[in-house]
Chain A
Amino acid sequence: MRASSLMLLASFALAACGGGSPPEEPAPEPAPAPAPPAPAPVDDSAERERLERERMEREAAERARALAAELGTMINFEFDKADIRSADQGTLDRKAAILAANTNVRIRIAGHADDRGSDEYNLALGNRRAAAAKRYLESKGVDASRIEVVSYGEERPLNPGADEAAYAQNRRDEFEVTAGGDNLVAPQ
């Protein structure tokens, strides 16, 4: 009797955790109110805790990865323009929210240009594109000191092609987390 009630407890504990194997006895009984003062199956619960911890870590890591991916989403620009396109404002708004919820995070914005403009001018243009995204994030409350701005001009094309589709891909801001990106918390 004592042994079987312990088994039952263990099954409930497993079921409550939502993991592990299904209860061996399909007919559930109401759990006895006070747990009998008996030696707990130490090995089992430690294993369960470990699995649970790993699962939660996995989920947290996935959430963090999703948030990091959102922080890293590129935005694109029109030819010889550094204006934030309305289509990209939502992307930047989500970045601003994530940055607001994770105040230790610092990012670097790298501006890029396509191959068509003047090589040297494209460095300045890339700088202006990165600075434009930084100003937008600042306008959404992100502290300026958390954002670094660099430019690669046309020196690092994403797509080596020489057509408008490639050019459009290459006119971009890239966003890189430079600090505090380990335990990202989702914004409320």
Chain B
Amino acid sequence: MKRLPAILLPVLAAAPLAAQDTTVTKDQPIRIGVDYAVNRPGLVVLPGAGLDSVRAIVRRDLDYTDRFEMLGDFASSDPGSAGASVNYGIYKTMGAQLGVELTAAPGGVTARLHDINGQKVRNTQSFTLPAETDPEYRMEVHRVSDEIARWASGTAGLAATRFLFVSNGRVYRIDGDGEEAVPLTPEGMTSLSPVWSPDGRTIAYTRLEGGRGGVIVQSLAGGSQVAPGAQSGLNITPAFSPDGRTLAFARSDETGTDIFTANYVDRCCAQRLTVGRYADNLSPTFSPDGRRIAFVSTRSGPPQIYVMAANGTDQELLAPFDYGATGASNAPEWSPDGARVVFHRDVSRSPQIFLVDVAGRRVTQLTSSGRNEDPTWGPDGRHIAFISDRTGRRQIWIIDTETGRVRQLQTPGAARLPAWSRRLGRATVASNP
């Protein structure tokens, strides 16, 4: 029943023959028709009365998981509208295996997942929703989508997420579906390299002033502070540890750039992890267990991806390269499941997105068209967002590493340095789990 997605087969077949840096490109700009011969269950969002905006948001959110073959796109007035009984026969004829039914409930919505073949309801739950005018409304609907995706596929969706990115020197926040872009840093300053704290309530970034920069830790509820140990000089590329207590960053001085960690909760104890001696060490990223840090180093020439223990010991190369042949490699980010590190590597002086699997140290290339850089993992460990200029202006694009499907996230201006949040909990505690 469960078979490998066909798109992966060439990669596996080519692997034994491939040199360290030779890879198979999967970047597919457009999904044509309904399949890549990937075994995805057909899913239909059932028509119904009212709730048009909820149904539209949920349908798109489920589509963006790339785990379902989305079938039909019913307007609410379509016949076959279920009410109490669902006409399983019609949907089975369409090829649907799963049906999502959304009905109005007091103060919110009731979601049901139907097993079309089994002709029964697999899951049902009521969700409270705020008024449509509430700023949290869309995010609450996204949480409904993510739960439905979990029922249907075993893995929660990635709709209740947001991105940070830099545009024109300011850090912006935008919802995972491209709605609600909000600037978080002042105009007229150069802010760079924003990252999320694990709980999604705090961000850190570099504020560049007069060729120097402090790492700023800013609560999204308001209030910011300069990170301990990152006040003077040039401090760049912050990263939170998975427990949210430690901030790693790189500091530049006249001997080069080196990685430090500091306990930003207790505001103490900056610890130096690398000794550059006129080389650069930067862009730290923690493994999800917090025990290792991948980073960029120029110790052997052009920047490449290295790894070390979180206390700075056991430093070694992570992503193999051919000396003198492989382009610069930068911007690593460790996957949520710990198995892979994504980064960008110059190919003919144009950056492309690459993956290295941590256990096997095998490098694969994900993109090939245009300039693609600064990748960041989605919380499902399957999607990767990055900056691409494939259509001209630099924008955020999202690739599904399983199918190669690519989509663009529209941002108001040119975008740089994106950071994808984990699934975001409610800002205020609500009754629903």
Residue positions of A touching B, CB distance < 8 A: 80, 108, 110, 116-121, 123-125, 127-128, 131, 134-135, 149-153, 155
Contacts and interface: CB of A to CB of B under 8 A. Distances in A.
B415 to A, nearest CB: 12
Contact of B328 (A118, A135, A152): A118
A119 B344 CA distance: 12
B118 to A, nearest CB: 51
Contact of B208 (A117, A125, A152): A152
Interface residues of B, number: 38
27 contacts: A80-B302, A80-B328, A108-B211, A118-B328, A118-B344, A118-B351, A118-B374, A119-B417, A120-B283, A120-B331, A121-B280, A121-B283, A121-B328, A123-B234, A124-B256, A125-B280, A127-B253, A127-B257, A128-B280, A131-B278, A134-B254, A149-B253, A150-B210, A151-B234, A153-B208, A155-B169, A155-B208
Contacts of B206: 123
B53 to A, nearest CB: 37
Nearest to A131: B254
Nearest to B302: A80
A118 B208 CA distance: 16
Contact of A150 (B190, B211, B296): B211
B214 to A, nearest CB: 13
Contacts of B344: 118
The listed residue with most B CB atoms (<10 A of its CB), out of A120, A127, A135, A155, is A120
B252 A123 contact: yes
Given A150-B211, A150-B234, A121 B296 contact: yes
A150 B232 CA distance: 11
B328 A127 contact: no
Given A119-B374, A121-B283, A150-B211, A127 B234 contact: yes
A150 B254 CA distance: 9
Contact of A127 (B190, B192, B252, B296): B252
B255 interface: yes
A119 B192 contact: yes
Nearest to B166: A119
Nearest to B213: A123
Contact of B192 (A116, A120, A125): A120
A150 B374 CA distance: 24
Given A125-B280, A151-B211, A119 B252 contact: no
Interface in B336-389: 344, 349, 351, 373-374
The listed residue with most B CB atoms (<10 A of its CB), out of A110, A123, A125, is A123
